[in-house]
Every structure is written in structure tokens, then in C-alpha cells.
Amino acid sequence: MRSDVEDLMPRLLPIETANKTEALRLNEGAPRNPQEYLRQVQLEASLCPEVVVAQIDPMKLRKAQTVNASVSGCQAAPEGLSPSLGWQRQQVANFSDVRQSIAKHRRHWSTQTLDENVVMPKLSDEEGWKTFCLGETVYKATAASGTHLEPSSALDYSKMGFPPFLSIVSRLNQTTVLALLEILVGWFEEAELVPQLGRWLYALLACLEKPLIPEAHSIIRQLARRCASVKCGVHCTFDLTILSCSLSF
């Protein structure tokens, strides 16, 4: 007869169940052959309780440990370009409010009908996502000549990029959020920060769900290093500083 354990872990070797007499004999000494060894293992396993509860002495528990994870490669901001601690905390609080709001209303916004001109690329279409988020004006002009063209005054999202509307980002699962973050952070490594990129990075970071998987940690560290590198340049934008604060979640 199959046991409950065998339902979870199928038997791989044909072993006969030992009777009481054999069980007593097996406990007397070392097994004399492979069959007795396997039966002894079977007997010992049958004596183990199904559920084991650890008896922990609360007096021996240490206080909660704080892990300080440093981001190697991040450079300190030049003197005069580092925001105050109070301002940084305010940005972190604002970012936390945004994350909670997105989580609360995600189901509602994900059911809203998108406009006909909103065609979201497939997950594997890296070039399509860059054009979707950054727009042809920024992405294709940068890829071609390394310079940015001024966006036209007409509201043409195909040229200026689709903003990260809640109706759009709420439809992205965690796999897509991570993949899109990796695409945009990779593009940011070779280009400067533009408003379209800043908005999308902020929105995608706000859509990340905890606990973060190792891939998410790696992308965030990469983005933090890039932000620190740009901040150490001559020009430091307001958007970049806010984005850097959002990486602390």
C-alpha cells in the first residue's frame, strides 16, 4: 500500500516493507547488505514526525539587524548640488504614496479602454518599446545622429512618446515592467536624461512589487550608478534628483 509520503515522493527503488521482527533486528546493528540499509532508512523516515516545530528561546534572539547595501560605483554629488535630507525624505514619501495609489487602483485602470492609437509593443520588441516610450523624435533622432530634435507643438504621441498613463502601466505585469526597465536603463547608459525617459523610469519603479527579485535589484543598482554619474556632470536636472530619491524604496 502506498503511503502519504509516496504520493509526494514516488518510490524509485523496489523495497519491501519490513515487518516488526525485521525492524527490531535492523535496529540492533549496522546493515549487512544494501536491502537492509534501504529498509533501515525507510524505518527511520517512518519514525520522523510529519510536522516539526522549533523550540526557540526568545531571550537568545538578537535584535533586528540592519543591512546596509552600498551601491558600488556611485559617486557623491558635487558640492552645492546635493539636495537637503529633508527634501530627499519628502520625495521618498511622495514616491511611496504614488506606489500605494497605483497598487490600490491598478485593477480599475487596467480595465479602462485604451485609445485606438495606443498599440503596445510585444515584450520582445525592444525597438518598439523605445519608440513607444520615448517617441520617434527622441529615440530615432538619437540613434541616428546623437542629437535631439525639438518636439512639435501638435500632440502626436507617436513622435513625442506615450506618457506612462495609469491605463497603460496598470496593464503591465511584473515581467513586462522589469523587461521595460532593463530596456530603458540600457538606453540611458548611452544617452542623456530626457523628460520622457524620466517619467517612464519613475512610473515603472512605482509599479515594482515587493519583495524585489534579484533582477530588479540589479537594474536599480545600474540605474543608481548612472544617475550618480550624470549628477556629477556640469548640469544636474531637477528630474534626475527626484529620480535618484525614488531608488531608495
Q: How far apart are CA 132 and CA 130, in angstroms?
A: 5
Q: Range with the lowest mean pLDDT among 9-13, 25-29, 102-106, 191-195?
A: 9-13
What is the pLDDT averaged over residues 65-86? Answer: 66
20 secondary structure, DSSP code: H
pTM: 0.61
Using CA atoms, how far residue 81 sits from 71, 104, 132, 158, 208, in Å, is 19, 35, 32, 35, 28
Residues 142-157 pLDDT 10s: 555 444 445 444 567 7
Residues 7-18 pLDDT 10s: 445 566 666 665
